[in-house]
Amino acid sequence: MAARTGLPLAPGHSGAPVFPPVALSADAAPFTPLGAEGWPFSSQSDAEKQFARCASKLRSLRGDSTHLREELNLLFDQLISENYNKTFNPNINIRPEDVCLLLKHASCLVPLSQEHLVIKLCQLVHHLLNQLKVIMDEQTLDVLVSYTVHALSVCSTWTHSEILLALSTTVYGNGPQCHKHLSELLGEDGILLLYSSPSQPDMELRRVALTCMANICLRIPGQPPLDDQYRSVCFQVFLQTLQSPKPPNTDELFYSMVIQAALKGLQCSLSGGKWKFGGGEELGSVLATLKRLMFQGAPGVSVEWPPVLYPAPLPQYEGLSAPKPSEPPKEAAAPAKASGNKKRKSKGKGKKTGTEENRGDDGEEDEREAVPVPQRGGGRSGGGGGGARREGVGGEGESWSKPSAPSLYPSWKRTSSDSEFSDPEGGVQSKLRLYHARLRQGALHCLLAVVKGVEKRTLYGYWSSFIPDSPIGGPPPLTLLTIILKDPSPKVRACALQVLSAMLEGSRQFLGVAEDTASPRTSYTPFSFSLATAVRELHRALSLALLAETSAHTLTQVIKCLAYLVGNAPYHRLRPGLLSPLWKQMRPYVRHRDVNVRVSVLTLYGALVTTQAPLPEVQLLLRQPEGSSSAGSFTPQDSALSWRQRGGVSSPSCAPAALSQRNSHTPANTRSPGVPRTPGEEEAGPPWLLQLCVSLVTQPREDQSDGEGAGAGGPVALEPTPVRLEALQVLAHLVRGYFSLAQACLCEIGQVSARCLGETDPSIQLQGAKLLEELGTSVIQQYRAENNVPESSRVPMNQVVQFWSDVLSGPLNAALQNEQHPTLQTSACDTLSSILPQAFAQLPEKRQMMCITVLLGLTYSENYLVKTAAVRALGVYILFPCLREDVMFVADTANTILAALNDRSPNARAKAAWSLGNLTDTLIVNMESVGVDFQEELSDMLLLKMLQAATRASADKDRVKSNAVRALGNLLHFLRHSQLTRAGFQRPLEDAVRALVQTVQSEATMKVRWNACYALGNAFRNPALPLDSAPWSHDAFSALCCVVTSCKNFKVRIKSAAALSIPARRGCYGDAERFSCVWRSLAAALENSEDTNDFLEYRYCASLRHTLSQALLHLLGISQSQDMPALGASLAGEEGRGIKEHLIKYLRVEEGGEGTEGEKDGKGESVNPQQRIGGLQQTLNRLKGLEVGGEGGEKTGKEVVVEFLEDLLKTCEEP
């Protein structure tokens, strides 16, 4: 009756009545909600009542009861018969402590001599812990583990399987908590090692023991891992099990279950941490074992597998061999018999992969893989190594008839006449195929754990074993791509794709070596070319998988894998043509029925417009008219893909009015859809991808047959939220990488963002704000002088102003004030900081005041993310020309920054220090442009607070320190003489300089140190600083002299040399001894300018020598008579000849060049050789007229210097 009415029955109540339906009326009985089983909700379920009754009765039993055995037997049966699974009975609520109490008491009542009761107790332990997911306390865990371990040593062998199962359930995820028993279980001659040994004849005991060890290794998130000692023991047992051959006379199904348990254990051992199981030999052994098991039971595979895989350059390739007589492969033996009934191909030796074959339908179980699938399409064009062909049943017959050529032709593709199994055998063989598929899936899960746990650089050496570097032809290599293209199980294919995705993730540096733009050498194949070939083969194989796949879940994994490939491959170093087919192939999938497929397609498009943007190939694809790129891209899955729009063209039919109108009157509509657009036609309309994304975000869904998304039943049901979010992200990527193609739709995209900000979904609002930020940032990039964008190619200024006027008068204000969603507020602050400074100046004054007021107010937010973003935005605004001269705004910004520098959050302090650096940059600009008036208007007390705050921040973390020292340099440069002489500034001034000196000499990051060197040079520019008399002056020069000769980082040396050349007066260098020290340091640094152990530093050698030469000539230009002895002694010997060679190159502009760091940090002199030589001539004339008094030694020093300069001039003037 239940089956007819559709009303399910509760477990244990088969005779329960079925209530008839009652018509709705005023007289109807009150509504009573029903549980998952169709029964009214009550305070306590039947299972709970049964458990409580049995538990109460069990606790009342004592060991000396007369009928103890019978009562225990009855209670155990009653408890085991109940279904506690919350899937069937979600209302159940049994407390874990009650379960623990029951099991502890029961273990005390059951003596080990009563083996049948022991078995039932073990079954009860497994039943309750497994179904109720009980987290045990340590005492219960200890009692149950002790009981089961003792039972294994006392009870008969026939009970051990159930005891081990109870032990396995008990230790699940509790390995670290079992520390008292680990030595007994996993130590030398431990119980589990005994049962899991390859010599154990009982396969069931071996399987359960391996499962028990896997559960011990299993790590629950948030808990400590198992001790490395025992994890290594388990790892070795699992690996030994996987490597040992199948014992003779062992059932294949039972042995598959043992291998599956070992794979699960290996996965638990490898998961949740780095590889800790030995060096290359162990890793190669594991990889070889997993690669063999990846193909376990795959049809047609019969190869000799190497015991170890070696990293390049020691590759090993699988050698083909005939099947072994002792263990004929069951999947490959019979097809050879049936090959006589198959038609032979006309081109048997062509590079055919069989990858174009259709897969099983989505959700098809592995047991049903033998069911033939009707062929949908005719011929297909297989890219790369495969030509066009027509698939037919039995198309791989020729390869099957040859035992030496392995084939992975799926058994489910064969018709019933080709089946190797008779009807009675079908069930067994189908079950064996299912188990083999699970083995392959488990091996791939283990391989995924290895990929995640092993260092990327180590794993790169094994890529050739899993990713082919040449098109498949002849005997195909067995790799991950073979599984992706050939395996009959969609779950296995999905696992292989996950492994490949994990290998590709983060491989940009490795794949960046790939290059095939030049013709390869005939004598040898460079590694870069082999890697490029591997990238091309990945493209080819994944494109074929995309065509053949019909399982929606696996199809999603294929597209995600392609996204990882596109995001990491160096297409600017590869021949064009890889991305165009992929771009066109993905077009129909944007309207796929499955929402996850649609999201992954958008992710792939986002990767395409992000990778090395702007790529010329992608630019051409974006410029193509709407219909051209979809021509010929209709896939065999058209019935599933084009559910919105037939015909293969999947462009948005409901594009926004503005975009549709923009495209309606263009010449593109008169062109043939197959003719590509030339670069000059880019103005014809917005890119198709932009129209698609706008349509997905804003337009109603055309078809709601899949029942997805929010708003079902409403007239304006939009796309599901994941699709809209991904479309917004693609829009942001498109704007960032190809703004020149998207800028014509600036206002329309702004309207999309405004619409998103006006919605109620915070995630949509957030992406809308981020899109606005990308638009603003792209406009700023266009207007930067260094980017050299012609004015005709920029967005007109009046359009930028109108854009921001509309944005600021829209829903962005509500987002800025939305305290319930601080992440949205943060993004809105970032949006405000992306306004073009020139456009901000032309905004209405009330809009400007609104931006400033909101940002100043948000710096007092309790959320550190909002505060950080607001402080950063103020650090951007302080650089705006229209605001930086406003003393009141500068003061308000300074006060908010000073408050943020004391925040508890390191991120907030880091952004505050960055903003303080920008603010002090503004002070320097105003000092040079406005003059003393601005300096006098700024409060002395505020400057003192800024100096003290920056000094304190220089002792903070490196990311705070790097900008704090920048601010100190600017402040020391900005202070006037009247301020420096005041008593209140003396101590802070000394503390500030000493903070810079300590930073220069510290072990901080190189960026911090060269910022500190730059800050000292910046301070030296202030003529009011008492460099000649201050006590800290000696420490500053000593620190710079030490760094310029000894620092390993050449950029730090460059900054220190530039700082030493900045003081304009001889008196700033102090006495002759200090001047001589500076000279000797610069000369020694020039002599050792090529001494480095880091090859990367050599690129800065020329810039370093340029800066050092400039500094030495500066010292010669300001030197006085007291400096002549030291200068003469230096220039007279071997050191002088080395200095002369470098100065000649500098004067002739043979190195360093314009725009080098050293020149930018100097006085900005021209690189014209005549001007440099003219400056040297002036130095020579000055020294000749220098009056030298005292001892003759000084006269000799002067003569040496003059002679050195005359010889230098003569050499430089020679042609």
Is the predicted pLDDT of residue 377 greater than 50, yes or no?
no
Which pLDDT belongs to residue 240? 92
| CA 785/CA 766 separation, integer angstroms | 31
Is the predicted pLDDT of residue 279 greater than 90, yes or no?
no
Angle of CA points 613, 615, 617, to nearest 5°: 145
Burial class (CB in 10 A: 0-12, 13-18, 19+), 437: buried
Which pLDDT belongs to residue 1162? 41
Q: Which residue has the higher pLDDT, 1182 or 471?
A: 1182
The structure tokens listed for 559 are 């597209």
Q: Which residue has the tokens 């339906």?
A: 21
Which pLDDT belongs to residue 50? 85
Summarize pLDDT for 608-636 with one digit per residue, the tens: 999 988 999 999 999 887 655 443 344 44
**What amino acid occupies position 987?**
R
| CA 1200/CA 1206 separation, integer angstroms | 10
First to last CA, the chain: 111
Q: Which residue has the tokens 């002599």?
A: 1087
What count of other Cβ atoms lies within 10 Å of the Cβ of residue 958?
A: 14
Is the predicted pLDDT of residue 749 greater than 90, yes or no?
yes
Q: Which residue has the higher pLDDT, 222 or 372?
A: 222
| Contact assessment for residue 1123 and residue 1072, using Cβ atoms and an 8 Å cutoff | yes
Which pLDDT belongs to residue 628? 53
Q: Which residue has the higher pLDDT, 1149 or 612?
A: 612
Residue-averaged pLDDT of the chain: 79
Cis ω for the linkage preceding 313 (within 30 of 0): yes
Is the predicted pLDDT of residue 905 greater than 90, yes or no?
yes
H-helix or E-strand spanning residue 303:
strand 303-304
Is the predicted pLDDT of residue 648 greater than 60, yes or no?
no
| Contact assessment for residue 255 and residue 202, using Cβ atoms and an 8 Å cutoff | no
What count of other Cβ atoms lies within 10 Å of the Cβ of residue 1121?
A: 17
User: What are the beta bridge partners of residue 40?
Assistant: 34
Which pLDDT belongs to residue 703? 61
Is the predicted pLDDT of residue 329 greater than 90, yes or no?
no
The structure tokens listed for 691 are 């129209």
Q: What is the DSSP string of 547-610?
A: HH---HHHHHHHHHHHHHHHHHS-GGGS-S-SHHHHHHHHGGGGG-SSHHHHHHHHHHHHHHTT
| CA 957/CA 392 separation, integer angstroms | 68
Which residues are within 8 A (CB) of 1128 and not within 5 positions of it... i.e. 6 or more apart? 1196, 1197, 1198, 1199, 1200, 1201
What count of other Cβ atoms lies within 10 Å of the Cβ of residue 56?
A: 10
Is the predicted pLDDT of residue 460 greater than 70, yes or no?
yes
Summarize pLDDT for 550-576 with one digit per residue, the tens: 899 999 999 999 999 999 999 999 999
Which pLDDT belongs to residue 367? 38
Is the predicted pLDDT of residue 118 greater than 80, yes or no?
yes
Which pLDDT belongs to residue 523? 66
Q: Which residue has the higher pLDDT, 32 or 946?
A: 946
Angle of CA points 191, 192, 198, to nearest 5°: 115
The structure tokens listed for 538 are 């990945």
Which pLDDT belongs to residue 641? 39
| Contact assessment for residue 1009 and residue 1016, using Cβ atoms and an 8 Å cutoff | no
| Contact assessment for residue 112 and residue 154, using Cβ atoms and an 8 Å cutoff | yes
Is the predicted pLDDT of residue 993 greater than 70, yes or no?
yes
Q: What percent of the chain has pLDDT over 90?
A: 47
The structure tokens listed for 787 are 């980017």
In order of 126, 170, 306, 356, 987, the CA distances from 130 in angstroms are 6, 9, 40, 44, 71
Which pLDDT belongs to residue 520? 59
| Contact assessment for residue 1010 and residue 970, using Cβ atoms and an 8 Å cutoff | no
Summarize pLDDT for 16-68 with one digit per residue, the tens: 444 444 444 444 444 444 444 444 444 567 788 888 888 888 888 887 766 78
Pick from 874, 985, 885, 893: which is nearest to 927 by CA? 885
**Residue 380 φ/ψ, nearest 5 degrees:** -130, 155
Q: Which residue has the higher pLDDT, 460 or 280?
A: 460
CA 812 to chain centre: 30
Q: Which residue has the tokens 């020039």?
A: 1086
Which pLDDT belongs to residue 1191? 52
The structure tokens listed for 1088 are 């050792």
The structure tokens listed for 230 are 């025992």
User: What are the beta bridge partners of residue 304?
Assistant: 319
Question: Rounded to a whole number, what is the largest CA-CA distance in the chain?
Answer: 128
Is the predicted pLDDT of residue 1166 greater than 90, yes or no?
no
| CA 668/CA 617 separation, integer angstroms | 20
Which pLDDT belongs to residue 152? 92
Which of the residue ranges 819-828, 1095-1104, 1191-1200 would you say has the lowest mean pLDDT?
1191-1200
| CA 14/CA 137 separation, integer angstroms | 37
| CA 1071/CA 128 separation, integer angstroms | 88
**What amino acid occupies position 101?**
L
Burial class (CB in 10 A: 0-12, 13-18, 19+), 288: buried
Alpha helix (H) ranges present in 885-976? 887-900, 906-929, 932-937, 940-953, 958-974
Q: What is the DSSP string of 475-520?
A: S---SHHHHHHH-S-HHHHHHHHHHHHHHHTT-HHHHTT---SSPP
Which pLDDT belongs to residue 657? 46
| Contact assessment for residue 267 and residue 406, using Cβ atoms and an 8 Å cutoff | no
Summarize pLDDT for 526-550 with one digit per residue, the tens: 888 888 989 999 999 999 999 999 8
Going by their DSSP bridges, the two strands 319-320 and 303-304 should be labelled as: antiparallel
Q: How confident is the model at residue 1095 (pLDDT cuts 50, 70, 90)?
A: low
What count of other Cβ atoms lies within 10 Å of the Cβ of residue 818?
A: 17
| CA 1197/CA 360 separation, integer angstroms | 93
3-state SS assignment for residue 390: strand
pTM, full prediction: 0.78
**What amino acid occupies position 948?**
Q
Q: What is the DSSP string of 100-118?
A: HHHHHHHHHHS-TT-HHHH
H-helix or E-strand spanning residue 1027:
none
| Contact assessment for residue 934 and residue 926, using Cβ atoms and an 8 Å cutoff | yes
Q: How confident is the model at residue 473 (pLDDT cuts 50, 70, 90)?
A: low
Which pLDDT belongs to residue 1188? 64
Pick from 269, 281, 189: which is nearest to 232 by CA? 269
Pick from 760, 797, 802: which is nearest to 780 by CA? 797
Q: What percent of the chain has pLDDT over 70?
A: 77
Exposed e or buried b for every residue in 165-199, given b needs 16+ CB within 10 A?
bbbbbbbbbbbbbbeebbebbbeeebbbbebbeee
Which pLDDT belongs to residue 807? 93
Q: Which residue has the tokens 């040859």?
A: 402
Is the predicted pLDDT of residue 1195 greater than 80, yes or no?
no
- Would you state the torsion angle of the CA atoms of residues 188, 191, 193, 194, taken in this order, to the nearest 10 degrees? 110
